[in-house]
Amino acid sequence: MRWIEVMWRESSDSGASSSFALRTAGQITTGSHNRRGWFRAMAALLAITASGPIFAQSPPAAPRFVVVLDAAHGGDDTGARLGGEAEKAYTLALSIRLRSLLMARGFAVVTTRESDATLEPDSRAQIANHANAQACISLHAAESGSGVHLFVSSLAPVQDARFLPWKTAQAAWIMRSLSFAGVVNSALSHATVPVTLGRTALPAIDSMSCAAVAIEVAPERSTDAQGPASLDDPDYQARVANALAAALVEWRSQAREDREQ
């Protein structure tokens, strides 16, 4: 009789997916001199039976969708004064909150800072560019204005991304960043958060090679909002964070549709 010898092999690129390599083992007799081989083959087959069908191929793992969250300011740079709080603390809290919302939705999240650390714009861009991210969001907050101020870099778009100076790397990504801003705008508007769109020079984002926006959260001052406008309003904070998470879910599904076409 013929047996199939099965070797279990972890695929090299990902521990999550595995595959079988099959080869025929030739004649295996049940003679006493080869009884050990027969038992080994039986054990291999039993192991296969226990672990599922032999020829089932695990589906290719979806590529990691990486989001960079950049909590602006930090350390010596306190940012704006927001009531009793510094902007640097507000942006860090929002980054942490958004990170957990995104991780619960299957995103890989890279943050530029996890503590009250001083970080230069170049270091932020370096972290973002190293992450090879599909979306980058720089988080700010302000007392003035209303709702969310949504910014895209004011660099003029360029087509050729091969030899971009570091300080203007974002120029090759402007069109993607504008699309991403459109998705963020829709999600915030859907959550009835007022949005103001703008283009401006953004020292960290201008050096980033990813679809990138800056978000500046201001108190909600829409006419139908209840009570005094405050950045500390937990309902408002939750709506902003959930809308940003929803925007990234939409951005990810658009990216997957693009890839399948």
Of 75-83, 131-139, 222-230, 239-247, the segment contacting Zn ion by CB under 5 A is: 75-83
User: Which of 34/196 has CB closer to Zn ion?
Assistant: 196
Q: Residue 90 or residue 236: which is nearer to Zn ion going by CB?
A: 90
Q: What is the pattern of x (binds Zn ion, CB under 5 A) and - over residues 79-118?
A: x---------------------------------------
Taking CB under 5 A as the criterion, the residue among 41, 68, 71, 72 binding Zn ion is 72
Helical ranges in the chain per DSSP H? 35-51, 87-104, 121-131, 174-190, 234-260
Give me 218's structure tokens.
């201001």
Contact 150, 213 (CB under 8 A): yes
Identity at 116, one-letter amino acid code: D
Q: Which of 97, 113, 140, 252 binds Zn ion (CB under 5 A)?
A: 140
**Closest among 78, 63, 47, 20 to 255, alpha carbons compared:** 63
Cβ proximity to Zn ion, 77 vs 250, nearer residue: 77
The residues pairing with 4 across neighbouring beta strands, listed in sequence order, are 24
How much of the chain is helix, strand and coil, in % rounded to 5?
A: 40, 25, 35
Residue closer to Zn ion, measured from CB, 99 or 140: 140
Asked if 149 interacts with Zn ion (CB under 5 A), we say no
Contact footprint for Zn ion (CB under 5 A): 72, 79, 140
